[in-house]
Structure 1
């Protein structure tokens, strides 16, 4: 069905605006998948996001219109978003900052607003108080808040949401198991991990990612033979600080910078490591289970809900427990194989892209279809 053909929503196609900040890979991939699914069902979709997000995720290639809206809340950006939302049947914003911009842009209008919270907002000090104010404003304004974990749904309810629901976000695309990946030996050679275990962590080099904890754990691995290599794929403000520690302490760690081949890196790895605790539904955890790569992760409500018993979960902030879990898996091929099998079964329980689109579309129907008289 083309985006301009009649739809089951009435005489003219439903028109939605998806608002995206553009700073999170998981939410950006979700919006691309959602846009493609909605367009295929006859919905007109406009994606408001920074131009670089459209270049990276090709929303227009999914059949959506794209409007460049910077990741800012200044009057010009809000005005651009307000203009793009004119005539929309509903607006769906993804992430706290995008949601707040949508609240500002829709001020004085009756257009229904749906927001999806993909992760816990992370900040300290005065900024943390500011984010709590944003959360409260968004939660109380939105018609529906969709949380990607039970913890986010509970948080939305505590913050004053009128209607908060669980809405898991799947990882788009088909995944190839690591042991079937054709480029695995070559990539391990390029990384310097021939004849030694390869450990992988992925994400921007920020404080909330837990990389200091990871380097603390890496000190323990220096005693192992063969010596594991930890590769961290990502870029950010902590690069110089982390690199200095790596050199001063002679840690077996390589900062690989921003990479476009994370799926290939994961396929080459023996273990995936997730030391941070801020993500509700981490992309790396999903990728690892799909790829049958054993995962060691910080034990949070969102991660436990996502992976079940298919990963080694360690207490938050416990470098010794993290190091011990890695050593245990490197010394325990049977446990690794058990986690691979459990991961395959766990990933099979996650919703598909089609199921996710259908769920979101049912919410749209509730907000846009006339309610029967009783």
Structure 2
């Protein structure tokens, strides 16, 4: 039996869902694109509420969604935009805490089921920590189902009052060129030449340039491996509030580091690298960690949160915030091809245990079906 018929049974109209994006992180945006593609293929109608630049980057319309531009804020105009998009929805699915909060405001007293997927743990200090807990409680109680991408996010949702919190299967799409080998139009050697790493090792990291991701530790480590011959080049893809501070430090200390901003070819950059580095980050399922293991690029990562569960023995783990350990691991791996090959093999095995895109879509659809069984017939 086809999936499409199972989601328009007995003359029922196709299921109409609205996906709401919050901060627009690579993790949630990549997931929503993958999910949208799978839902549309199974006969579900999908509207994605996100800023226009997110549709430009992730092309939700290209996989069959209707896109509605909604700015990333909780102001009345944004909430009104969401409310309008929700008008004929059978179900609303928000991705991230802030998207969940905005969806809760927009739904008001409507009984449309709300699903919230939590991809990252939010952090705040002082008075803001109290506000954050209130926000978490409001969203947890409003959601019919909370999906957490790690067990600690599920536990947190339950502690905030979620009536139904479950572990979510979240797959990262494997880029076509990783599956089929190198993109013949842009081989790794060309990527490395463009980045300025033809005669030296290339290290790659990706992520928002903010305080929680361990960039200070990374630059401290870069200062240590500057003495290697040849000194590896670290390329950092991403934008964020720390850009100016990091750039000044790179220049002042003459560090072998390049900030290349936000890129739409991250999977190619990672695949061309000798090592991928992950000094920290709040995501339960790091996109960079998954890209590195899929691309058979050895990963050195800080052992924080649920990252050790994600990568298993397929990465070199170091303590968070320990620049000496990070620099030492990089130097050892660059001088040990056999260890790198072992990590590639283990990483490939670990990646094979992760959920597939089909399994991710199937789990989400089963949740949607539970919550919308009493939809009217056409």
Q: Distance in 2 between matches of 1:262 and 1:104?
A: 35
| Residue equivalent to 1:103 | 104
Q: Distance in 1 between matches of 2:160 and 2:332?
A: 41
Q: Distance in 1 between matches of 2:231 and 2:286?
A: 28
Offset at residue 9 of structure 1 (A): 7.5
Offset at residue 87 of structure 1 (A): 2.4
Q: Distance in 1 between matches of 2:304 and 2:176?
A: 25
Offset at residue 124 of structure 1 (A): 3.3
Q: Residues 271-293 of structure 1, C-alpha deviation per residue, up to 9 Å, x if partnerless?
A: 00011231111100000000000
| Residue equivalent to 2:113 | 112
| Residue equivalent to 1:15 | 16
Distance 1:22-1:316 versus aligned 2 partners, 3 A rule:
closer
Offset at residue 363 of structure 1 (A): 0.5
Distance 1:43-1:246 versus aligned 2 partners, 3 A rule:
same
Offset at residue 181 of structure 1 (A): 5.2
Q: Tell whether the 8 Å contact from 1:117 to 1:148 is kept in structure 2 after alignment.
A: yes
Q: Residues 246-280 of structure 1, C-alpha deviation per residue, up to 9 Å, x if partnerless?
A: 12222111112222221121121100001123111
| Residue equivalent to 2:87 | 86
Q: Residues 25-64 of structure 1, C-alpha deviation per residue, up to 9 Å, x if partnerless?
A: 1211211111121111111211111122222222222222
Q: Distance in 1 between matches of 2:174 and 2:188?
A: 20
Q: Residues 163-208 of structure 1, C-alpha deviation per residue, up to 9 Å, x if partnerless?
A: 1111131112435449845421122122221221111111121111
Distance 1:320-1:354 versus aligned 2 partners, 3 A rule:
same
Offset at residue 297 of structure 1 (A): 0.8
Q: Tell whether the 8 Å contact from 1:112 to 1:143 is kept in structure 2 after alignment.
A: yes
Q: 1:189 aligns with which of 193, 216, 220?
A: 193
| Residue equivalent to 2:241 | 237
Offset at residue 95 of structure 1 (A): 0.7
Q: Distance in 1 between matches of 2:159 and 2:308?
A: 21
Q: Residues 66-125 of structure 1, C-alpha deviation per residue, up to 9 Å, x if partnerless?
A: 222111111121111112111211111001111100111111111111000011113333
Q: Tell whether the 8 Å contact from 1:149 to 1:305 is kept in structure 2 after alignment.
A: no
Distance 1:370-1:190 versus aligned 2 partners, 3 A rule:
closer
Q: 2:292 aligns with which of 272, 288, 294?
A: 288
| Residue equivalent to 1:67 | 68
| Residue equivalent to 1:44 | 45
| Residue equivalent to 1:304 | 308
Q: Distance in 2 between matches of 1:83 and 1:181?
A: 42
Distance 1:368-1:22 versus aligned 2 partners, 3 A rule:
same
Q: Runs of 5+ in structure 2 lacking a partner? A: none
Q: Distance in 1 between matches of 2:352 and 2:21?
A: 28
Q: Residues 290-329 of structure 1, C-alpha deviation per residue, up to 9 Å, x if partnerless?
A: 0000001111232112111100111121111111111121
Distance 1:174-1:268 versus aligned 2 partners, 3 A rule:
closer
What do you get for the CA RMSD once the two structures are aligned? 2.2
| Residue equivalent to 1:323 | 327
| Residue equivalent to 2:230 | 226
| Residue equivalent to 1:168 | 169
- Give the TM-score normalised by the residue count of structure 2: 0.93
- Give the TM-score normalised by the residue count of structure 1: 0.94
Q: Residues 328-363 of structure 1, C-alpha deviation per residue, up to 9 Å, x if partnerless?
A: 211211111011011111111111111111110001
SS of residue in 1 equivalent to 2:193: helix
| Residue equivalent to 1:129 | 130
**Which structure 2 residues correspond to residues 271-282 of structure 1 after superposition, within 5 A?**
271-282=275-286
| Residue equivalent to 1:153 | 154
The yes-or-no answer on 1:247 pairing with 2:251 is yes
Q: Tell whether the 8 Å contact from 1:30 to 1:169 is kept in structure 2 after alignment.
A: yes
Q: Distance in 1 between matches of 2:359 and 2:129?
A: 35
Q: Distance in 2 between matches of 1:352 and 1:247?
A: 43
Offset at residue 243 of structure 1 (A): 1.5
| Residue equivalent to 2:206 | 202
SS of residue in 2 equivalent to 1:301: coil
Q: Tell whether the 8 Å contact from 2:7 to 2:44 is kept in structure 1 after alignment.
A: no
Q: Tell whether the 8 Å contact from 1:199 to 1:228 is kept in structure 2 after alignment.
A: yes
Distance 1:337-1:177 versus aligned 2 partners, 3 A rule:
farther
